[in-house]
A = this chain, B = another copy of it.
Amino acid sequence: MSDAYAPNRRESTDARRTAIAAAARALIVEKGVEGLRTRDIAERVGINVATLHYHVPSKEALIELVADSLRQDFMNQHVTRPRAHLSARRRMDLEFVDFGEMAEERPEVMQVFSELMERARRDERIAEIMRPLIGKWRQIVKNLLTEGIGEGDYRADIDAEPCATMIIGALIGFCRNRHHDPDAYERLVAELRRAIRNPSLSIED
C-alpha cells in the first residue's frame, strides 16, 4: 500500500483517504453502515482516531467518501473494453458478464452498494452520489434494449423503461440472495435473455 519500510507512517492525505475508504468498506460489509465505528476504521488503517478525523472531518464525510469510492469503482467498470462496434445484444451480454464478474470476484462492492442504497433513501447527500450510478446504469440498459429492438434481436413490444427496471432488479436481487448452486447466475442471465429475446427469431441464442 505504501512504502514497505516505514509502514503506515506519514502518508499523504490522498493515500490516507483511500486507505480509510477501503477499511470503511470492509467494515461495512462486516457490520453494516449502522455498525460502522470511526475507532474500528482507524484501528484497521493503523492510525489514531484523531488522525482519521484529521483526514475525514466527520462521519457524514466518511460515508460520502465511501459512496464516492464506490462510484469510482463503478465508473472504472464501464470504460474498460471497447465495444462500440458490437451489436446491442452482444454488448448487453457483455454487460451481464461484467456484472457476473463483479458479483463473483468482488461481492463486497455490491454489498456496500446495497447498503448505501438503503441509506440513500434517508440521506439526501448519499442519494445525490448514488443517483447517477443507477441512473447511468439504467440508461445504458435502456439504450441497449432500444437498439436491440431496432436490430430485431429483442422483442418488438418491449417497454424499455420498465424492462430496465426488471433487468437491474433481477441482477441486484440475485446478489442479495445467499448463493445457491454455482451456475445460478448463468441460469438467471439465460432467463433474462429469453425474457427479452425476439420470439420470431429462429433458435440460435
Contact = CB atoms under 8 A, between A and B. Distances in A.
Contact of A195 (B30, B33, B171, B195): B195
A122 interface: yes
Q: In the complex this chain forms, how many copies of it are found?
A: 2
A165 B115 CA distance: 20
A165 B189 CA distance: 11
Contacts of A118: 32, 114-115, 118
Interface string A131-164: 0000000000000000000000001011101110
A195 B187 CA distance: 15
A201 to B, nearest CB: 10
Interface residues on A, range: 35 or more
Nearest to A36: B34
Interface stretch (A41-49, A88-96, A172-180): A172-180
A59 to B, nearest CB: 11
B194 A157 contact: yes
Nearest to A160: B191
B165 A174 contact: yes
A60 to B, nearest CB: 13
B162 A173 contact: no
- Which 4 residue pairs spanning A and B have beta carbons closest together? A169-B173, A34-B34, A199-B199, A195-B195
A34 B33 contact: yes
A102 interface: no
